[in-house]
Amino acid sequence: MASEIVWRPTGAYLKKSNIRRFMDKHDIDDYDGLVRRSIEERDWFWNAVVEDANVEWFEPYTRVYDDSRGIEWARWFVDGKINIVHNVLDRHALSSRRDKLAFIWASETGEERMVTYGELYEDVNRFANGLRSLGIGRGDPVCMYMPMVPEIIVAFLAILKIGAIAVPIFSAFGPEAVRTRLEDVDARIVLTADGSIRHGRTIEIKAKADQCVEGVGTVEKIIVLKRLGNDIPWKEGRDVWWDELVSGQPEECRTEEMDSEDTAMLLYSSGTTGKPKGTVHTHGGSNVQVAKEVGYYMDVKEGDVLFWVTDIGWMMGPWQILGAQHHGATHFIYEGGINHPAPDKLWELVERYSITGLGISPTLVRVLIKEGDEWVARHDLSSLRMLGSTGEPWDDSSWNWLFEKVGKRRLPIINISGGTELFGCLLSPLPITDLKPKTLRGPGLGMDIDCLDENGKSVRGGIGTLVCRNVGPSMTRGFWGDPERYIETYWSHFPGMWYHADLAHVDADGFWFLLGRADDLMKISGMRVGPADIETALIDHGTVSEAAAFGVPDETTGEAIVCFAVLKPGNEPSDDLRKDLREHVGDILGKPFRPRSILFVEALPKTRSGKIVRRTIKNIYIGSGPVGDVSTLENPEALDGIRRAV
């Protein structure tokens, strides 16, 4: 894991970044001192964030933190009255920022829309009043099953404004996945659209929404946006056109004053097995945490344009919206395939809209690498000053490609890691930190993170499991309607510590790296190895673009390694290549870690957030165990390729 520092901050990163301002304000000299003080002096740190990020309250909180019911059920900013929408919209629209762009929308068909804070304020108020006219108010979950169109921003903020609970759902999910979520929250209102366009194909979202609500007796209304104007199924008395709901509604709407601990969002974390988990996030905690992270990690300022390649159904969608708008900045959303109709679509968008902060997953980077470097070279990407990534571990060649070909070795990669259940980051670099390839640098500010062995002892230099010894303001207040499962999932492994189930490594210089999920860890002849190590070694060969590795039972070694690999264009599957790849992995990691079997496929199945579903692949390979809910996959057809290879 040892590697050299490849990026050191200079100039504005050191002198004009938001985190540098914060450090100067509090007489903090260096990175280590900042992290240490943010952890050891909890009340001071979060009070300082509230003040520095200008988080406004209707009524001030009396205590930063209260764990009298146990750390698992800690409360934040006790007695404070707040609403996220006041901080991310109202105060900007009612100030000199009224005519400033809140967000930009574009689609793969070439459409675009630019929306100011003032325009967004009026649209949000009209839709909020429309929801209230349907009897929706404080504490009512509202499910959003929509594409990434401007109205998704309007709806999201309108729901929060009236004190209802936003439930974003991936627009590509199938009926089973959506229905489970609707039933879990006893949904009364579902928002959708007549359709969408992705990779040149029309997506019939309304028809899918009708299937989703079948048997869900609580659903009263489906509000339908006219996106394409195509013919759709319609149920009188239940279905309502979006434009008719908002027509004639007032442009002003009172923002509900919510308790800091009132629920703002339910973000569903879907695994490959088991019922999806509805993670509960509050107005106060979410607002403060996202202001910290987008402000200090991605260094977003008022003049920036932030674009994280995401969907509203992944936590990075709400994270981008709330974070950028809290700071009065502009963010960018996109509807469609990011590499359609040509492989340079993403780079065209960066150039056209002068995007300054770009967040991208390692999986998408690997897809773009296969298209060739020339697509990147066609575009002027000089507007970029920050690159971000999350979602899964990196391999060396993909990280280096982003750093060199996109960033021209002049931009930091802010590689963050957290999760839906956190609505925030456990680990993250800062603009002021040196970087090694793939590193997450260290603990997120205010987050007491450790790497533990199986006996609960701190590990440095080896592989351990990521834990958090405290809690952050935005971490879930449990699973919706299932507190026992929440305790079992996060608090039963190491009592008093949040168990995150990621494999971590901290090198001799104190740089942190993630290696995959702990339940994907393999033991070969008593030696532990993560799937990311094997996959990185395969990609390092130069013929492989993507790989998935997992362990299967073996009588001799306990477990043996099986890999599925996607080859780069110009390479053909063969026994000779398979043998060469095995030896290459052995040369890098040692002979015991040579894969027992390597199977070639055209694509690996992934979720919409870009995560390869290794456990699903493994279960197909060994012929046992649940395949999982394939409706959550971006490319379920890839499972057929896995079956053919097996």
Per run of 10 residues, the mean pLDDT along the chain (length 646 residues) is 87 97 98 98 98 98 98 98 98 98 97 98 98 98 98 98 96 86 97 95 95 96 97 97 98 98 92 74 98 98 97 94 98 95 96 98 89 96 97 89 98 95 97 98 98 93 94 97 95 95 94 86 77 88 93 85 94 94 90 92 83 86 68 80 89
> What single-letter amino acid sits at 518?
A
Any domain includes 97? no
From the number of C-beta atoms within 10 Å of its C-beta (0-12, 13-18, 19+), residue 211 rates as: middle
How many whole angstroms separate alpha carbon 16 and alpha carbon 6?
21
Domains: count for the chain: 1
Per DSSP, the three-state class of 314 is coil
The token pair at 196 is: 């969408």
Any domain includes 618? yes
pLDDT for the residue numbered 190: 98
**Which of 104, 85, 82, 105 is closest to 93 using CA atoms?**
85
Q: Give the distance between the most distant pair of CA atoms in the chain.
A: 74
Considering just the CA atoms, what is the radius of gyration of the chain in Å?
A: 24
The token pair at 500 is: 């995150």
Q: How many helices (H) and strands (E) does the chain have?
A: 22, 31
Print the domain residue range for 603.
Answer: 521-645
pLDDT for the residue numbered 272: 42
Q: If you count them, how many residues does the chain have?
A: 646
pLDDT tens for each residue of 298-323 = 999 999 999 999 999 899 999 999 99
pLDDT for the residue numbered 391: 80
Any domain includes 5? no
What single-letter DSSP state applies at residue 20?
A: H
How many whole angstroms separate alpha carbon 535 and alpha carbon 529?
11
pLDDT tens for each residue of 455-508 = 999 999 988 999 999 999 999 999 999 999 999 999 999 999 999 989 999 999
Q: Provide CB contacts within 8 A for 178, sequence distance 6+.
A: 143, 145, 169, 208, 209, 212, 631
Any domain includes 562? yes
Any domain includes 571? yes
How many whole angstroms separate alpha carbon 436 and alpha carbon 455?
29
Any domain includes 53? no
How many whole angstroms separate alpha carbon 144 and alpha carbon 635?
22
How many whole angstroms separate alpha carbon 289 and alpha carbon 323?
9
From the number of C-beta atoms within 10 Å of its C-beta (0-12, 13-18, 19+), residue 122 rates as: middle
Per DSSP, the three-state class of 504 is strand
pLDDT for the residue numbered 366: 87
pLDDT for the residue numbered 585: 93
What is the residue-averaged pLDDT of the chain? 94
Contact 128, 161 (CB under 8 A): yes
Spell out the SS3 assignment of 472-494.
CCCCCCCECCCHHHHHHHHCCCC
How many whole angstroms separate alpha carbon 57 and alpha carbon 284?
9
CA 386 to chain centre: 17
The token pair at 612 is: 């390869």
Contact 166, 197 (CB under 8 A): no
pLDDT for the residue numbered 309: 95
How many whole angstroms separate alpha carbon 446 and alpha carbon 439?
19
What single-letter DSSP state applies at residue 213?
A: T
Instruction: Write the CATH number for 591.
Output: 3.30.300.30
Contact 434, 8 (CB under 8 A): yes
**Which of 197, 262, 249 is closest to 223 using CA atoms?**
249
Measured CA to CA in angstroms, residue 265 lies from 169, 234, 261, 279, 476 at distances of 11, 29, 11, 8, 10
Any domain includes 384? no
Measured CA to CA in angstroms, residue 393 lies from 361, 362, 439 at distances of 9, 7, 9
pTM for the complete prediction? 0.90
Any domain includes 502? no
Contact 616, 272 (CB under 8 A): yes
How many whole angstroms separate alpha carbon 262 and alpha carbon 129?
21
